Amino acid sequence: MSALINLEGRVAVVTGASRGIGESIARAFAGAGARLVLAARKPEALADVAASIEAAGGQALAVPAHTGREEEVRSLIRAAVERFGKVDVLVNNAATNPHFGPLLDVEEQAWEKTFEVNLKGYFLCAREVIRHLQGRGAPGAIVNLASVAGIRAAPMQGVYGMTKAAVISMTQTLAYEVGGTGIRVNAVAPGLVETRFSAAIVGSEELRNLVVSRTPLGRHAMPSEIAGAALYLASDAASFVNGHVLVVDGGFTVH
């Protein structure tokens, strides 16, 4: 491993870490030397991931939390500081997409839930970690998981796409506002990734082929292929990368 692409001595909070992309990022970060604080709403699956990381020689703390709720976010960061003394890196990954269908058919409850988790949750976590970093005068890195759905039309996933577009805007604004204190804020925008979250597309031969046919690499991604991008942005290898959206989509957006 490159001397630059490592997280030795750093503490990273990863949300949505109980499965999928979040779990892969947590495992990649552990392999790079980070101590992990894992957050998700389902405690059993979260505890299993933490135990697996520790069994492999890493250090991981599981903290069940709903990131759309301010007090739970504060408790999450407090728990991280109490266990490891600090937080250096945040990966905002927790997301939801309860409405799959035409945008005009979305119900208000689904709209509210999507914005609460995908946007408000990212903001609350970022704000709490930034305040912590600035309070101790330390540099840090925030990596927000966006999506190509936030930079292209998102048919059947319109509300999800809107939240991801807003995540990109938030990423750029925070990067501008806090970069002077040594805190870098970047985003990863994956294309189609095989996770339980994307089962409605990956599990449908018609929808999957529609995406894959537009992807020059001719396939969809696996979660581990997104983890490498997050690791790069969190590490010193990306020390002069700020406000950037790293698209990891196999070429889907090149045309």
pLDDT of amino acid 198: 65
4 assigned to some structural domain: no
For the stretch 93-137, pLDDT in tens is 999 989 989 999 999 999 999 999 999 999 999 999 999 999 999
153 assigned to some structural domain: yes
For the stretch 202-255, pLDDT in tens is 777 777 777 888 899 998 889 999 999 999 999 999 999 999 999 999 999 997
Burial of 42 (0-12, 13-18, 19+ CB in 10 A): exposed
Positions annotated as catalytic residues are 160
pLDDT of amino acid 220: 86
226 assigned to some structural domain: yes
76 assigned to some structural domain: yes
- pTM for the predicted model, two decimal places: 0.95
3 assigned to some structural domain: no
Beta-strand (E) ranges in 99-232? 140-145, 183-190
Domain that holds residue 85: 11-248
Query: Which CATH number belongs to the domain containing residue 149 in this structure?
Result: 3.40.50.720
pLDDT of amino acid 199: 64
Indicate the number of domains in the chain. Answer: 1
Strand (E) or helix (H) holding 159: helix 158-178
pLDDT of amino acid 202: 72
255 assigned to some structural domain: no
pLDDT of amino acid 133: 98
Determine the average pLDDT of the residues in 161-167. 97
